[in-house]
Structure 1
Amino acid sequence: MSNRNIVNGRIELSEDEFKSTLFSLLGPQTTLQGQIIIPKTYGPVIIKTNEEKMIEGAFESCMFKCFMSCTLGYGLGGVIGLFSASVNPTITGPDAKQQTAREVFRDMKATTMSHAKNFAIVGAMFASIECAIETYRGKSDWKNGTGAGGITGGLIGLRAGVKAGLLGAAGFAAFSSVIDYYMRHR
């Protein structure tokens, strides 16, 4: 130890001494790539390329999440609207006349599109708000979904009044919390 250089209270090691010290501290399952020390503890270490990082960043962006939520919401709303139109006719009662096939399909199209549009808007709102909250907080946990659910439900319910907005916020926040808990603990 007497022949080593001490600079600013630190001992300087040669590259061979550094590698042997690293080997003795971390064991034989380490990889030295550049200046990054990667311990191999749970399988092989895979370092992502810049292209992989760029694609992963695009898929994790707020714009992509919002687009996908809007698209999937539109599809799910369309399916629910089609089911709803098939089991709930709009013309009923004693004065109802027999509907033609054209009227039935026109009614089904209107109901399907209405549900699809509404689900798309809700999905886009929720995803955008959740992503904004997650970006602001810098964390990915249950609080983001609960907050986004509360804000989304409140904004949707606010069209019917303040009381409906508060109930919508509480209901959507509770629903978001339950879904988030289920998805994280399954």
Structure 2
Amino acid sequence: MPEGERSEVGNADGPSAESALNGNQQGAKVRKRKEYARIEPPSPEQLVQEDMINNCAVKTVISGIMGSALGICFGVFMGAMDSAGSGMDMSGAGAAAAGAEKQTTRQVLVQMARSTGQRSLSYAKGFGAVGALYAGSECVIEKMRAKHDIYNALYAGCTAGGVLASSGGPKAMCAGCVTFAAFSAFIDRMLDHD
């Protein structure tokens, strides 16, 4: 028998145990005792780390930073696509303007870099604001309700959508609330992190 597993048939100290084991090999099942690994309690450092991660302010800042990073990447991609396409238009008025104003490769690259940088900054601000607003409101709502369910995502999505659309008036706020809440519920359901 492998080490750590014991048979519960008979006494392991006498000949009766050996005969019982031989009898069990002919058809009866031998029950083996499961052994479990010891669970270590978390260290004080791990407890502090968990408390920091569960802090709403920390979650909000982390989500804002991650949203900004995603916005920068998205802005670089979209800026590169936009800049690459604008230099290719050589029909009609575009050809006349290009003939009158020839740019060197360096000037074109500098212009593309500026355009991409501006677009990246714009996307970073937007994505960072959305991430921070959504994560912060979801964390506060979850702590107030003391529940972890899909309604937290709905309420946080409604809050974030309404606040982001506040400059457009009450109708825009209602539309932002409904659409962002529906999107949040859809993503929460797809991730299924209950």
Report the TM-score, using the length of structure 1 for normalisation. Answer: 0.70
Other-structure match for 1:47: 41
Q: Percent identity?
A: 32
- CA-atom RMSD in angstroms: 2.7
When residues 158 and 94 of structure 1 are mapped into structure 2, their CA distance, relative to the original with a 3 A threshold, is farther
User: Moved runs in structure 1, 4+ residues, more than 6 A?
Assistant: 90-93
- The number of residue pairs the alignment matches comes to 147
Report the TM-score, using the length of structure 2 for normalisation. Answer: 0.67
Greater share of strand residues, 1 or 2?
1
Q: Please give the alpha-carbon distance, in whole angstroms, between the structure 2 residues aligned to 1:42 and 1:151.
A: 46
Q: Please give the alpha-carbon distance, in whole angstroms, between the structure 1 residues aligned to 2:80 and 2:168.
A: 28
Query: C-alpha displacement at 1:47, in angstroms?
Result: 1.9
Q: Can you give the 5+ residue segments of structure 2 that lack an aligned partner in the other structure? A: 1-32
CA contact (8 A) 2:80 2:112 kept: no
Q: Please give the alpha-carbon distance, in whole angstroms, between the structure 1 residues aligned to 2:44 and 2:59.
A: 21
Q: Can you give the 5+ residue segments of structure 1 that lack an aligned partner in the other structure? A: 1-28, 30-40
- Write the letter of the residue equivalent to 1:182: M
Q: Please give the alpha-carbon distance, in whole angstroms, between the structure 2 residues aligned to 1:155 and 1:63.
A: 18
Which of 1 and 2 has higher RCO (CA within 8 Å, sep 6+)?
A: 2
Larger radius of gyration: 2
Query: C-alpha displacement at 1:159, in angstroms?
Result: 1.3
- Write the letter of the residue equivalent to 2:144: Y
Other-structure match for 1:7: none
Other-structure match for 1:13: none
Aligned ranges 1:69-148 → 2 under 5 Å = 69-89=63-83, 94=93, 97=98, 100-148=108-156
Q: Deviations over 1:129-175 (max 9, x none)?
A: 11110111111111111110111011111212222211111111011
Other-structure match for 2:168: 160
Query: C-alpha displacement at 1:101, in angstroms?
Result: 2.0
Q: Deviations over 1:66-100 (max 9, x none)?
A: 12101110111111111111222496783554662
